[in-house]
Amino acid sequence: MSTTDYNSLDFSSLVAISGDEIVTHSFVRDVPLSAGRTLALVTLDNGRDHTRPNTLGPVTLLEFAATMEKLTTRAGRGEIHGVAVTGKPFILAAGADLSKVAEIPSLEAGKLLSQLGHHALGKLDTLGVPSFVFINGLALGGGLEIGLNAGYRTVDAAVPAIALPEVFLGLIPGWGGSYLLPNLIGIENALKVIIENPLKNNRTLTGADALELGIADVMFDSARFLEDSIAWADGVIAGSTKVSRPNAPGKIERLVKWDVAVGIARKMLVNRIGEVATSPYVALDLLQAAKSGSRAEGFQREDDALAGLIAGDQLQASIYAFNLVQKRAKRPAGAPDKKLARPITKVGVIGAGLMASQFALLFVRRLRVPVVITDLDQARVDKGVAYIHDEIAALQTKNRISPDEANRLRALVTGTTDRSLFSDADWVIEAVFEEIGVKQSVFAEIEKFISPETILATNTSSLSVEEIGSKLAHPERLLGFHFFNPVAVMPLIEVVNTPQTDEITLATAMVIAGKLRKNAVITRDTPGFVVNRVLAKLLGEAMHAVDTGTPFEIVEAAVAPFGLPMTPFELLELVGLTVGAHVLDTHHAAFPDRFFESDNLHKLAEHGKILERDAKGRRTGFDRGALKIVAGGTTPMTAEQILQRVEDGLVDEIKRMLDDDVVHAAEDIDLCMILGAGWPFQMGGITPYLDRVGASERVFGDTFHTPPIRGIGVQLPAVTRS
Amino acid sequence: MAERAEVVFVDGVRTPFGRAGEKGMYWNTRADDLVVKAIIGLMERNAGVPPERIDDVAIAATTQTGDQGLTLGRTAALLAGLPKSVPGFAIDRMCAGAMTAVTSMGSSIGFGAYDLAIAGGVEHMGRHPMGFGADPNPRFLSERLVSEDALNMGATAERIHDRFPSYTKERSDRFALRSQQKVAAAYDAGNIQPDLISVATRSESGWGLATRDEAPRPETTMEGLSTLRTPFRSHGRVTAGNASGLNDGASACLLASGATAKELGLGVKMIMTSFAFAGVEPEVMGLGPVPSTEKALRKAGLSITDIGLFELNEAFAVQVISFLDHFGIDDDDPRVNEYGGAIAVGHPLASSGVRLMNQLAHQFESHPEVRYGLTAMCIGLGQGGTVIWENPHFNKKAAKR
């Protein structure tokens, strides 16, 4: 295979589309080493403070390449004896500048972006003198790949995050990472960094992790990181410091372990995320191929792979989703001025069951104010408090909180059946039985004890918040505050704004959601709000297909192209079949012509399960009893029919929600589905997917997004599918 | 009852000294980071010292606000990664800050309260110009407690020229020229570098590394010196050339009881013999080292003729000349400031005391014939400080030769 001469390429077309790039400059200063030698120290600095990390755009990369060429010349003249690259304070570099990826006009231009990275960073390998990267701070994606292209790496013990998050974004490490990393730290470690971690909520590495994995050769404390790094480089250049790399793959690893490890990772991947998302599999192929061949060949494979991904739909949807989560989630649409929010100095929780106790725990941990819980009788209250105390103890055992903090939290949590102890609470949330009469009466009762300004929040998932408040003297201080299960983990809260809810109440809820470290989306008080209404559509259609006689397998296969984290039946079991049936009933009651209810689902709930599972809980098939229950449908559908019904149904429902202003924009629907239901980045939540498969066009003759969020339409070249 | 102990100077280091101001190499480096790096460097060089055995950390600074505030010894200890169990505090005696840190910690060791201590100082005169933010009591002037000149160090140096007409400007310039030449020679001989802790420096054009003092001007000539302005008085004698400059830098040293040094197998570079501080008229503050030295000699039972090496802080050439003149020592006596002084390397106020000690300790090694040496410095508002040290490398045979 002939390899690319990167020096012969013309990158001017990339520069043309990066007019507003914030350039990260490559500054060079000479540093004296021992024995009269000199180290050229390159600092990457975009001239902004640490809140605007260095990024690597085309102009930046070309400047870096030119700098390296000058240093190569100087090295040839014997003026310098080593080159080291480091970053501005706290930051090495946060990776490629992705803001322009949506504007990449062609497959060739996409490929050029990868080639430019190889062109620039690859020069660290051809300086003629040893090259070092001192990882002084944040090093993500291309930022870390600068280091991988160098001969040696030091790392600061205080670095907050080191990662190759590309797969999380629908990309692959395409500036050398996919080839260099497994050849530096071994295939298993590389799989962990490139594939596993990005899919585990984008987990990052610390300096100590990087050292242990073998990404860094040595670690120094931050106080003298640069001085120590320079001294260490001096030793390496002088030959007095020897570098050993125990994790670097040897012959046996390449012959025996490599393919096996990739095979295991592939199985794990299929199990965990299915086969719809492209980039993890492309990364897997690249890692597998990195077993043999030259660096130049590896780089060329990355060029082709990255070009294909940049041209595809999933990357564009992923970047859209990433921006939603990073930006829109932090500035919720329709949120009133934060200054209106009332301070919360005490929280009351009505109910002492599991959900209520989880709320109490979350509120006390995050707000650190007194939290009082109540229930029908002292026994229930005591049980709730005991649960919370146990959870606090567990946090302490896991060293998540100190003994002092545990004492503080325990002292803040009290339980009572005396409602008068709620009188000085600023915020009262209920988590009682999901029935309108019950919720109305607990609020009516508590209102006798609390001030007219105390904010009331209901965790209802299916009832009308306005109706819950209809018997209140002060309904303006009520809103919905809908958590997702498990409360501690799921990052979304739907804040439900009724026609009566006032601005102060809404502002306070948004601030409280932030303090609970949740993302809040404001919705109108309509059935199911956002997440449950969209899920009810999907699950209703799935059960309807079953009810008409379609086998479970066909239904699952039909919606497989979505690439959802779980099938409809897995999801039903996760939320509980009884809850699932209730959700379908509620939506059917609200919108009888559009949402299906399912008798079968009630029967399945009574039966207890749909899936057959082994002792470890892994699914092995469908439960025989369940199969018997749903037998008898007479008009089965094909997978194609189901897929179209689901897609079109979702388009129709989401369009109605937007027309009805349940939330302000399609972006908010997508944000809710990503954060509340774990729908994947590659779908962009849901609306980019519906646009790109043509469903939006079919249903309402237009698209949710203009222009639609999709690639330039070239499929992945076969060359990467080795 | 605590047991009285011998006090030894185990090791001392400093950062390279920079020129103060925007163009100086430390303009973008925090003052506390300078002293933290010095402490870390000191501990790394003395890896046999269990950090939890350090009994106290005394760090001096003249202007204790901003990055030189917040009880520096404690913050520097925490930032340097010393165990939280190690206490610390801040000291101020203007130019003699680090020297006072040493005598204070030395006293605590000598009394038997401490076994090991870190003493040092820092001054970032670029970030903290001398006297900045100070609010002198108006009584100083209204009641003529001090003359107006007392608060301006350059003016106090001019007053010494007034008092001793034989100390001419030419004599001061010649002393300054030799200081520059001796520093250059000491660098060439590698006598300064061993005790320097390099510091990464940041500028808008990237990181660099400070490995040498920034202030020395080895190209200095008498002709050049003669043309310099006399900023404190027209037709005066004190110039930027025959005075120390405005500088940034930090120093730190490790002191121990003799028994602890022995227990831990630490090297002993110097043994503390005596020390003294003394006051003089603030308007001639440069004379301060004379009475402090006399007092320290008396306490030690020594005479000036017992002192074989002198490290005198060169705040101003004339002020060192006054000291030498008082004790009958020639301006160019080889025992005095063998490696040059502050006129060349600079004087980041509260850090300089330990620099003098580092240099004396280094000279002790190559002068086994010398039994006693002395570090002394003048101090703003009319004081002097002197520490007399004994050379552990002293060898009677060498002395007889």
Residue A529 region by backbone torsions, left for phi larger than 0, else alpha for psi between -120 and 50, else beta:
left
Q: Is the pLDDT of residue A669 over 50?
A: yes
Task: Output the pLDDT for position B326.
Answer: 98
Average pLDDT, chain B: 96
Which residues of chain B have a CB within 8 Å of the CB of A27?
A: 205-206
CA pair distance B366, B99, nearest whole angstrom: 23
Rounded to 5 degrees, φ, ψ at A410 are -60, -40
Instruction: State the residue for tokens 């970047």.
Output: A319
Both tokens of B333, joined, read: 């006596």
Contact A29 B36 (CB under 8 A): no
Task: Output the pLDDT for position A103.
Answer: 77
Q: How confident is the model at residue B120 (pLDDT cuts 50, 70, 90)?
A: very high
Which residues of chain B have a CB within 8 Å of the CB of A29?
A: 203, 205-208
Both tokens of A486, joined, read: 């498990």
Q: Is the pLDDT of residue A390 over 50?
A: yes
Q: Identify whether the C-beta of residue A648 lies closer than 8 Å to the C-beta of residue A697.
A: no
Q: Is the pLDDT of residue A722 over 50?
A: no
Contact B209 A32 (CB under 8 A): yes
Q: Is B200 on the interface with A (CB under 8 A)?
A: yes
- CA nearest B35 in A: which residue? A223
CA pair distance B93, B385, nearest whole angstrom: 10
Contact A28 B80 (CB under 8 A): no
Contact B207 A86 (CB under 8 A): yes
DSSP conformational letter for B53: G
Task: Output the pLDDT for position A654.
Answer: 98
Contact A223 B33 (CB under 8 A): yes
DSSP conformational letter for A193: I
- CA nearest A225 in B: which residue? B200
For residue B9, the SS3 value is: strand
Contact B209 A223 (CB under 8 A): no
Contact A28 B211 (CB under 8 A): no
CA B80 to chain centre: 22
CA–CA min distance A88, chain B (Å): 8
Contact A41 B202 (CB under 8 A): no
Q: How confident is the model at residue A720 (pLDDT cuts 50, 70, 90)?
A: very low
CA pair distance A231, A2, nearest whole angstrom: 40
Task: Output the pLDDT for position B146.
Answer: 87
Q: Identify whether the C-beta of residue A478 lies closer than 8 Å to the C-beta of residue A440.
A: no
Both tokens of A107, joined, read: 């497959």
Of residues A29, A224, A227, nearest to B206 (C-beta): A29
Task: Output the pLDDT for position A1.
Answer: 56
> Helix H segments across B255-338?
258-264, 289-300, 317-326
Condensed to tens digits (0 to 9), the pLDDT of residues A515-535 reads 999 999 999 999 999 999 999
What lies within 8 Å, CB to CB, of A264 at 6+ separation is: none
What lies within 8 Å, CB to CB, of A460 at 6+ separation is: A434, A439, A468, A480, A482
Condensed to tens digits (0 to 9), the pLDDT of residues A53-102 reads 999 999 999 999 999 999 999 999 999 999 999 999 999 999 988 877 77
Which residues of chain A have a CB within 8 Å of the CB of B202?
A: 89
Instruction: State the residue for tokens 């990772």.
Output: A265
DSSP string, B127-148: TS-TTTT----THHHHTTSS-G
CA–CA min distance A217, chain B (Å): 20
Residue A87 region by backbone torsions, left for phi larger than 0, else alpha for psi between -120 and 50, else beta:
beta
Task: Output the pLDDT for position A721.
Answer: 34
CA–CA min distance B211, chain A (Å): 8
Task: Output the pLDDT for position A719.
Answer: 37
Residue A311 amino acid letter: A
What average pLDDT does this structure show over A8-36? 93
- CA nearest A89 in B: which residue? B202
Which residues of chain A have a CB within 8 Å of the CB of B198?
A: 227, 230-231
Contact B81 A224 (CB under 8 A): no
Give ipTM to 2 decimals: 0.93
Q: Identify whether the C-beta of residue B272 lies closer than 8 Å to the C-beta of residue B372.
A: no
Q: Is B36 on the interface with A (CB under 8 A)?
A: yes
Contact B206 A28 (CB under 8 A): yes
Q: Is B128 on the interface with A (CB under 8 A)?
A: no
For residue B257, the SS3 value is: strand
Chain A interface, mutation test: which of B207, B212, B213, B214, most A Cβ atoms within 10 Å? B207
Of residues B36, B198, B206, nearest to A223 (C-beta): B36
Average pLDDT, chain A: 94
Peptide bond into B368 cis (omega under 30): no
CA pair distance A426, A525, nearest whole angstrom: 23
Contact B198 A227 (CB under 8 A): yes
Which residues of chain A have a CB within 8 Å of the CB of B207?
A: 29, 41, 43, 86, 226
Q: Is the pLDDT of residue A663 over 70?
A: yes
Q: Identify whether the C-beta of residue B148 lies closer than 8 Å to the C-beta of residue B226.
A: no
Q: Quick one: which of B396, B87, B35, B163 has its CA closest to A224?
A: B35
Q: Is A157 on the interface with B (CB under 8 A)?
A: no
CATH architecture of A6-311: Alpha-Beta Complex (3.90)
Q: Is the pLDDT of residue A167 over 80?
A: yes
- CA nearest B36 in A: which residue? A223
Contact A226 B206 (CB under 8 A): no
DSSP conformational letter for A78: T
Both tokens of A347, joined, read: 């929280």
Query: Would you mind telling me the total number of residues written for chain B in this entry?
Result: 401
% of chain B at pLDDT higher than 90: 92
Q: Is the pLDDT of residue B401 over 80?
A: no
Lowest mean pLDDT among A275-284, B106-115, B145-154, B337-346: B145-154
Q: Among 3.30.70.580, 3.40.50.300, 2.60.450.10, 3.40.50.720, name the CATH number for the domain at A338-524.
A: 3.40.50.720
Of residues B37, B207, B211, nearest to A224 (C-beta): B37
Which residues of chain A have a CB within 8 Å of the CB of B214?
A: none
For residue A486, the SS3 value is: coil
Sheet containing A131-135: give its strands across: A25-32, A38-45, A82-87, A131-135, A152-156, A218-220
Q: Is the pLDDT of residue B56 over 50?
A: yes
Which residues of chain B have a CB within 8 Å of the CB of A224?
A: 37, 40-41, 200
Q: Is B206 on the interface with A (CB under 8 A)?
A: yes
Query: Would you mind telling me the total number of residues written for chain A in this entry?
Result: 722
Q: Quick one: which of B47, B39, B40, B108 has its CA closest to B267?
A: B47
Contact A226 B37 (CB under 8 A): no
CA pair distance A544, A611, nearest whole angstrom: 18
CA pair distance B96, B75, nearest whole angstrom: 21
In CATH, the number for domain A531-661 is: 1.10.1040.50
- CA nearest A230 in B: which residue? B209
% helix, strand, coil for chain A, step of 5: 55, 15, 35
Q: Is B208 on the interface with A (CB under 8 A)?
A: yes
Condensed to tens digits (0 to 9), the pLDDT of residues A402-423 reads 999 999 999 999 999 999 999 9
A-facing residues of B in 49-88 (CB < 8 A) are 79-81
Beta strands of A544-602 (E only): which ranges?
A: none
B-facing residues of A in 222-251 (CB < 8 A) are 223-224, 226-227, 230-231
CA pair distance B122, B31, nearest whole angstrom: 7
Contact B209 A47 (CB under 8 A): no
Which residues of chain B have a CB within 8 Å of the CB of A226?
A: 200, 207, 209
Condensed to tens digits (0 to 9), the pLDDT of residues A473-506 reads 999 999 999 999 889 889 999 999 999 999 999 9
Condensed to tens digits (0 to 9), the pLDDT of residues A366-381 reads 999 999 999 999 999 9
Lowest mean pLDDT among A12-16, A73-77, B189-193: A12-16
Contact B37 A227 (CB under 8 A): yes
Q: Quick one: which of A122, A34, A52 has its CA closest to A94?
A: A52
Q: Is the pLDDT of residue A104 over 50?
A: yes
Task: Output the pLDDT for position A21.
Answer: 92
Domain boundaries, chain A: 6-311, 338-524, 531-661
Q: Is the pLDDT of residue B39 over 80?
A: yes
Task: Output the pLDDT for position A713.
Answer: 66
Q: What amino acid positions of B are annotated as catalytic residues? A: 95, 347, 378
Q: Is the pLDDT of residue A131 over 90?
A: yes
Q: Identify whether the C-beta of residue A670 lies closer than 8 Å to the C-beta of residue A625.
A: no
CA–CA min distance B77, chain A (Å): 12
CA pair distance B86, B104, nearest whole angstrom: 17
